Chain A
């Protein structure tokens, strides 16, 4: 059991909020790229990136859609950066029940950014290509990442023990046997 650690490409969109002018080219380009057929329709409401704009308080924050969550946050915090106050929501990419963002307008299903995975790969995600102001830039970095095979025996042991403590050894053993059988079968 060796190897364990591999290098993995981390795709990162850097958001320079001070450069954003609120043109929303990122939104409409994202939506067009993900339309079916590709570019077949325009609709920023389907975008997986969205610029939070509050003209009064001068907030312009592009946020990409990250994950779906069935629950609202238990509380909120706000950030004061420079002299501006940003609600946590201003940076949050979740499709969540408390707001209307990142949901398909027809079905309400969550939208999620896929970094424009495509074959052949794009040089940069569409939103970054559309941003002429430098508010969105793209970087790829190589990072060490777990491959799954690198778990140390002690960790497995600790995990199993906690399961046995919680469910009893018989139930754990039965489940392991069932998993084993189904994979074999």
Chain B
């Protein structure tokens, strides 16, 4: 018997309508755990580098994390992986809510989708009964509207639905997949649309077995209470109305303008009143003692929810106030548009218009006010009408299509993906590494374990490290104690810190634990994360029966992380792609940055082009990757040997 996981994947080819229930190899669970880890192994095996993202041969995988459905509180993430039509690289996308648990109770750890349907369809998974159904009547519907219609059609309110809106149907690169109050962004929505898969509906009523159930339940019962009481995890912005952090520090418009004195007590009070006037309640994901979603019903608009910075993106891009976000978010979410990248695309278009690169004829009938213009462009993008057809490809690709100097306005993307609009003065070396080498595209999916900035006094730093449970070992405490100025920190420390930050995200994405309890809360905001490298191994062992300790778990991280790098290297990603935007920091030092990158590659066991060496791959049990690289000439035997020697442990 398998514990913690079901041991089966659901595989389907939409081109021919085949559906198979396939038993998985327990050895792969040992090596990659689950979630994104095991999904990436499937992508490696099945999607050759030459497969275009918009191709029936691209594979879209919904994975329930290894601990999802177990009593482990806050383990509820479904990871969606594929190859992105925006970046042409690996796509990492996350859904919270109830979807992953329902999938496991239906008897599957993953849904692996290949092919392309000839007509719009949806998938109905009712335990062992799985059907591909016509979705003609759902065409053009919003995400929540689709979910409600399916529940009505199937006469059950217990069904969990993940759906794309019209944005996904029209293969907009910023399209998301939405379920409950969660949204999977960063590349998965357009691929689901390309496969002509409107939605996945699941009902699962099967048992999920635990290896050592009583001990696990007891441990989790205590954790549920301690997480509930822990002010450093979850999204405290759900209740703390002081959001000066984003408004005074992030850039407005097309990532241009900082307004350091924007926030005021008067504004805070006004926005608080607005929020509580229209907020239904705060809601949780499955089995989580935190309630991070603010659910808002704004008059005449579809109900929507947001967490953290999600409420700010539209009004900051448009130089408006919170009421504008409330006006537009419900509509944008129903369309199935990611609220991080979409406002930037719109702000970029309006800037091109101001600059005369896009002209009046590109915007027929465009209203005058910026608020109405956002709505106007939202419609154009979702329907891929006129200029919207180009903008729907995202800032980076659109800039190249538009030309005439538009490229210079694409100043906030990395690897063709829109970044958070942050423009700062002095370089933060760790952030340089994370932004340059990260392959989850958004910094929020990479940062979080180590504080963003040093604390001003030694005493404060000592106080901070005292209860720093999340730190893997003493060296991170030492790095922090000695860190006085943001831009002055050793390369050795920068490499180790970047590595740790990544580690926790990769482990969350394998286990399904939410970053707000773990990777995003390791030190950056408080240092008292609920999950860390020390308590994950016993939880994994009790749930799954796998032998697990900190060393083995760290190796899983290295293996999973290296496999993502391998997938992208095979598709052509190289050192030259690893560049934060030129204006991300005002003060830059090219030689220093490149030396830092050299050191980081070496630390990771990658060669100077950012390619994992044969030795590194062999050590992690990814020898088949190394062989493939040598066969393709991506690695050469002699390069590899020298890189291997330089490598640190």
Contact = CB atoms under 8 A, between A and B. Distances in A.
A29 B217 CA distance: 9
A141 B333 CA distance: 47
A32 interface: yes
B350 interface: no
A58 interface: yes
A145 interface: no
Contact of B286 (A23, A29, A45, A56): A23
B213 A54 contact: no
Secondary structure at the B interface, as helix, strand, loop or mixed, is loop
A39 B281 contact: no
A29 B220 CA distance: 10
B288 A23 contact: yes
B287 A28 contact: yes
A166 to B, nearest CB: 43
Contacts of B208: 41-43
A25 B287 contact: yes
B224 A132 contact: yes
B225 A132 contact: yes
Interface stretch (B69-77, B262-270, B351-359, B488-496): B69-77
A111 to B, nearest CB: 12
B249 interface: no
B644 interface: no
Contact of B207 (A25, A43, A52): A43
A42 B207 contact: yes
A39 B283 contact: no
A15 interface: no
B289 A132 contact: yes
A43 B224 CA distance: 18
A129 B289 CA distance: 12
Contacts of A38: 213-214
A142 to B, nearest CB: 29
Contacts of B157: 52-54
Contacts of A58: 280-281, 295, 297, 303
A80 to B, nearest CB: 16
A52 B281 CA distance: 15
Nearest to A22: B283
Given A58-B281, A105-B205, A21 B291 contact: yes
Contacts of A23: 284-289, 291
A103 to B, nearest CB: 10
A38 B71 CA distance: 13
A126 to B, nearest CB: 9
Contact of B209 (A18, A40, A52): A40
A40 B144 contact: no
Interface of B: 69-71, 73, 98, 101, 105, 144, 148, 156-158, 180-181, 204-210, 213-214, 216-217, 221, 224-225, 227-228, 280-289, 291, 295, 297, 303
17 contacts: A21-B281, A21-B282, A21-B283, A23-B284, A23-B286, A25-B288, A32-B217, A38-B213, A40-B209, A41-B207, A42-B69, A42-B71, A56-B303, A58-B280, A130-B221, A132-B289, A133-B284
Interface of A: 18, 20-25, 28-29, 32, 35, 37-46, 52-56, 58, 60, 100, 105, 129-130, 132-133
